[in-house]
Amino acid sequence: MSAPASHYFDEEPTTDSAPRDVVLMLPDIQLTLRTDRGVFGYDRIDAGTKLLLLKAPPPAGDGHLLDLGCGAGAIALTMAHRAPNATVWAVDVNERARELCRVNAERNGLGNVRVCAPDDVPDDVRFATIWSNPAIRIGKPALHAMLRRWLGRLTPDGEAVMVVHKHLGSDSLQAWLTQEGWPTERIASSAGYRILRSTITR
Ligand SMILES: C[S@@+](CC[C@H](N)C(=O)[O-])C[C@H]1O[C@@H](n2cnc3c(N)ncnc32)[C@H](O)[C@@H]1O
């Protein structure tokens, strides 16, 4: 029998480690990020992630911010740089991703990043800003459950900004979010990627 396929969202990747550094260049910051096999975005910065970082409005300046599905940390570390007085929670189910994100925050001198597994975020934490390149490939039921769980923890004035490719269902996700009580608009679009901004129905 063949071994089960591995996914970037496995909790404990079994793929051999082979770390590679990549550089994320943005107008306001340059970050060197260690990436690894078994973690999303090996040896590259995902084009959707980069678009989100170029187009997202500035995050809240204080309080708690969330990178949902942090991978190696491109989004979490950029948020931490742009909001030095906030605490950025970098959450991922994949322990190799969490370790990379920890190392990358330290290497880039960003002390306001807290990396943890989803269940380790204290229940009373509410997020002023959520940014995410969400794990669409976990399937719609799991994706919807994940988004309900975390967008349900936005502060009343909070917002979530996500990048989703049109081939991975950005338009239906936008409609679903709106119907669930998070009015969602498309704020940018490039090469099939959509940047979606969700707020809370008042
Ligand atoms: C598309 S990747 C984005 C990674 C990184 N933020 C980036 O932009 O390069 C999505 C990430 O979500 C993580 N993930 C999957 N299911 C999750 C869940 N239920 N809760 C938190 N993270 C999850 C995956 O392990 C993966 O690292």
The predicted model gives 50-64 an average pLDDT of: 98
Residue 1 pLDDT: 46
Select the more confidently predicted residue: 3 or 82.
Answer: 82
Q: What is the pTM of this model?
A: 0.97
- Nearest-CA residue for atom 10 of ligand 1: 135
What is the rounded CA–CA span in Å between residue 187 and residue 48? Answer: 14
The predicted model gives 18-35 an average pLDDT of: 98
- Nearest-CA residue for atom 13 of ligand 1: 69
The predicted model gives 93-103 an average pLDDT of: 98
Residue 10 pLDDT: 83
The residues facing 30 across adjacent strands are 25
- The pocket around ligand 1, CB under 6 angstroms, is made up of 8-9, 40-41, 46, 49, 68-71, 74-75, 91-94, 97, 118, 133, 135, 138, 146
**Token digits for 67?**
């990178």
Report yes or no: 73 and 104 within 8 Å, Cβ to Cβ. Answer: yes
pLDDT at 2 over 70: no
**Cβ partners under 8 Å of residue 140, min gap 6:** 169
Report yes or no: 15 and 31 within 8 Å, Cβ to Cβ. Answer: no
Backbone φ and ψ for 114, nearest 5 degrees, come out as: -115, 115
Note the pLDDT tens digit of each residue in 5-25. Answer: 678 888 988 899 999 999 999
What is the rounded CA–CA span in Å between residue 176 and residue 2? Answer: 37
Select the more confidently predicted residue: 176 or 2.
Answer: 176
Query: From the alpha carbon of 46, which atom of ligand 1 is closest?
Result: 9
CA of 61 to the centre of ligand 1 (A): 24
What is the rounded CA–CA span in Å between residue 127 and residue 65? Answer: 5
Backbone φ and ψ for 81, nearest 5 degrees, come out as: -65, -40
Q: Which DSSP string corresponds to 30-76?
A: EEEEEE-TTSSSTTS--HHHHHHHHHSPPPPSSSEEEEES-TTSHHH
The predicted model gives 157-179 an average pLDDT of: 97
Task: To the nearest 10°, report the CA torsion of 112, 116, 119, 122.
Answer: -20
pLDDT at 183 over 90: yes
Report yes or no: 86 and 126 within 8 Å, Cβ to Cβ. Answer: no
What is the rounded CA–CA span in Å between residue 156 and residue 174? Answer: 20
The predicted model gives 113-125 an average pLDDT of: 98
CA of 97 to the centre of ligand 1 (A): 9
What is the rounded CA–CA span in Å between residue 141 and residue 147? Answer: 10
CA of 8 to the centre of ligand 1 (A): 8
The predicted model gives 78-87 an average pLDDT of: 98
Q: Is 93 helix (H, G, I), strand (E, B) or coil?
A: coil
CA of 41 to the centre of ligand 1 (A): 10
CA of 84 to the centre of ligand 1 (A): 23
pLDDT at 64 over 50: yes
CA of 101 to the centre of ligand 1 (A): 12
Residue 201 pLDDT: 83
- Nearest-CA residue for atom 18 of ligand 1: 93
The predicted model gives 114-118 an average pLDDT of: 98
Report yes or no: 144 and 174 within 8 Å, Cβ to Cβ. Answer: no
